[in-house]
Chains A and B, each alone.
Chain A
Amino acid sequence: MRKIKEFIVENLILICGAASIFFVVLIFLFLLKEGLAVFQTESPFKFLFGKSWYPISEPPRLGIFPLILGSLLVTAGAAVISVPLGVGCAVYIAEVAPVKIKEVLKAGIELLAAIPSVVLGFIGMVTLVPFVKTVFHLPTGLTALSGSIMLAFMAMPTIVSIAEDALYSVPKTYKEGALALGATHWQTIWRVMLPAASSGILAAVMLGIGRVIGETMAVMMITGNAAVIPQSILVPVRTLTATIAAEMGEAVVGSEHYFALFAIGIVLFVISFAINVTADLFLHKRQ
């Protein structure tokens, strides 16, 4: 009787595990099936590097280079803001903060993670966009910079939690050895603990960035959605995610526009996948 129960439970768990991989593979195959169809009428090179995105014209011009650059610019901007802040916060929580402040800070970061991203986008649209417009004397505040700042808020909780975990898992002997040899607290942190935790911190950064590059609603509301190659961070951009969200409702099933949007999905999938695989490699290197 017990053996049968064991058998059932073990196989149930096996099916659950296999199911998740199965679904991911199915999603990827569906993306490929719908997305690759666009390359029957458009060359991959012109699609990936074309500079004009006019999908409803006759004939449609499907060049996603401005969109790729838009996504990368907004993500890079968010990384530049959130990585120093996030890692700094993690160091503070792990090493420097007194216990009471540590608890409050950790709760605060969890709260930040709990705010839905569309709410952050809405707040950004109403407060940050006019602010950016007046501070930088721009024609409009709907820019990549506004997008980057709000996305940094979304990436920070991920970076802080995982980097803090990485710092905690540095063996105590490293820290004690350094202090015993006469290093100051800061010297210990900067020259011993951070390098020791570096692969975990890099994994944290990658995961934070992975979240940011897939963000849709917030960027759609505050980056201005102009499909033009950005000359600086203070201009409107259009991201891959916002393009799919804005245009999918209109694209008739089976039209070239529809296939093109799925192809954009493939590009996004590949970028996110690369980021997550890198993060995974770093995490495993640590162990």
Chain B
Amino acid sequence: MLKRWLLVMIAITCATSALAAKDKNSIQIKGSDTIVNLGQAWAEKYMEKNPTEFVAVTGGGSGTGFSSLISNTCDVAMSSRNIKEKEITLAQKQGVSPYEIKVALDGLAVVVNPANPVDKLTIDQLAGIFTGRIANWKELGGKTEKIVILSREVNSGTHVYFKEHVLRKMDPNSKEEFAPGALMLSSSQAIADEIAGNSAAIGYYGMGYISPKQKPVAVAKDGASSFVTPSIENVLNGSYPISRPLFLYTNGTPAGLTKKFVDFTLSKEGQDLVLATDFVPINPSTKARD
């Protein structure tokens, strides 16, 4: 009885592992948690149109996507930041040449609890808050409460982008870091949940995660500019100061199935999906949606 069961299990394992062997009709996409929902929407639509092909999408953060591309464990890396010099060097050492494709735009929303009276901040004030220099909401005209800083983990492209563009204001020699007391949460959804329940918390994530439970803050580039809220129009016309391009990276120029998929993401259907998942299409002609 046991012997027969054992033989059956071995047979099933062999059969399924043969199926699971990497075949030319599947690609693996890994990377940014910001883009992962969009990636999955693309994959689903693409597989609907091409039923013999298989696209697998996983998250893990932009950093994870790059390290997978370099280790050759994925075909396409999704990223919400540019690839770093160090990553390019490491890639070339492994024989991988990263090729960058811009596929969408995203506004980085800074959010607070709806009960927080503060609703507009300049980039300088944001830098002060997230580095820990400004410690209490009363310094910004809010209630007397210690500011609770929420951030993504270091594997997140959103984390890196925010650090370079807001904390360090694009200065390559700046040494600013997030305050050591900042809470590192593992996903944008975790940040959203904590903000919804904590009146003193402030965090950041892609525009797509805003819901009625959080309040986005209007951001001004400096004291002289006007305060702009994160919205698709403001990202497209460039008035929202913290917006960033979203990328797909491949090993060399895309070819075969990878090229088909990348072309799909840049097509009208792909860009419509970008809009549907609350990002901003890069091709303004697809914006027409009343």
Q: A247-B154, A249-B61, A253-B67 are in contact. Are A140 and B160 (CB under 8 A)?
A: no
Q: A139-B145, A139-B146 are in contact. Are A252 and B66 (CB under 8 A)?
A: yes
Please encode chain A, from 209 to 243, with 1 for each CB lying within 8 Å of some chain B CB and 0 for all others.
00000000000110011111000000110100000
Q: A54-B177, A140-B201 are in contact. Are A246 and B155 (CB under 8 A)?
A: yes
Chain A residue numbers with a CB within 8 Å of B153 are 225, 246-247, 250
A162 to B86, CA, bound (A): 51
Which residues, 167 to 202 on B, are CB-close (under 8 Å) to A? 175, 177, 180-186, 194, 197-198, 200-201
A220 to B183, CA, bound (A): 11
- Check B180 against A130 for contact (C-beta < 8 Å): no
A54 to B160, CA, bound (A): 12
- Check A246 against B67 for contact (C-beta < 8 Å): no
Which residues, 246 to 268 on A, are CB-close (under 8 Å) to B? 246-247, 249-255
Is B251 engaged at the interface, CB distance under 8 Å to the other chain? no
- Check A255 against B86 for contact (C-beta < 8 Å): yes
The closest CB in chain A to the CB of B90 belongs to A252
- Check A140 against B64 for contact (C-beta < 8 Å): no
Please encode chain A, from 19 to 56, with 1 for each CB lying within 8 Å of some chain B CB and 0 for all others.
00000000000000000000000000000000010111
Chain A residue numbers with a CB within 8 Å of B154 are 55-56, 246-247, 250
- Check B87 against A56 for contact (C-beta < 8 Å): no
Chain B residue numbers with a CB within 8 Å of A52 are 180
Interface size class of B (residues with CB under 8 A): 20 to 34
- Check A57 against B184 for contact (C-beta < 8 Å): no
Chain A residue numbers with a CB within 8 Å of B186 are 220-221, 225, 246
Q: A225-B153, A247-B153 are in contact. Are A236 and B183 (CB under 8 A)?
A: yes
- Check A139 against B67 for contact (C-beta < 8 Å): no
Partner of B181, one of A236, A252, A255: A236
Interface size class of A (residues with CB under 8 A): 20 to 34
Is A106 engaged at the interface, CB distance under 8 Å to the other chain? no
Is A102 engaged at the interface, CB distance under 8 Å to the other chain? no
Chain B residue numbers with a CB within 8 Å of A225 are 153, 183-186
Is A175 engaged at the interface, CB distance under 8 Å to the other chain? no
Chain B residue numbers with a CB within 8 Å of A55 are 154
Chain A residue numbers with a CB within 8 Å of B148 are 139-140
Chain B residue numbers with a CB within 8 Å of A236 are 181, 183
Is B63 engaged at the interface, CB distance under 8 Å to the other chain? yes
Q: A139-B200, A140-B198 are in contact. Are A224 and B90 (CB under 8 A)?
A: no
The closest CB in chain A to the CB of B85 belongs to A58
Is B71 engaged at the interface, CB distance under 8 Å to the other chain? yes
- Check A140 against B177 for contact (C-beta < 8 Å): no
Chain B residue numbers with a CB within 8 Å of A252 are 66-67, 70-71, 87, 90
- Check B183 against A224 for contact (C-beta < 8 Å): yes
Partner of B90, one of A228, A246, A254: A254
Partner of A250, one of B61, B86, B175: B61
- Check B177 against A250 for contact (C-beta < 8 Å): no
Is B254 engaged at the interface, CB distance under 8 Å to the other chain? no
A250 to B194, CA, bound (A): 24
Chain B residue numbers with a CB within 8 Å of A140 are 148, 183, 194, 198, 200-201
By Cβ-Cβ distance, the 5 closest A-B pairs, closest first, are A250-B63, A250-B155, A249-B64, A225-B184, A228-B180
Q: Given known contacts A225-B183, A246-B154, A247-B155, what 19 new A-B pairs fall within 8 Å (CB)?
A: A66-B180, A130-B197, A133-B198, A139-B146, A139-B148, A139-B200, A221-B186, A224-B183, A225-B184, A226-B182, A226-B183, A227-B184, A246-B155, A247-B154, A250-B64, A251-B63, A252-B67, A252-B70, A252-B71
**Complex A-B: 22 CB contacts under 8 Å:** A55-B154, A56-B160, A57-B175, A130-B197, A139-B146, A140-B198, A140-B201, A142-B183, A142-B194, A221-B186, A225-B184, A226-B180, A227-B180, A228-B180, A228-B181, A238-B184, A246-B153, A247-B154, A247-B155, A252-B87, A252-B90, A253-B70
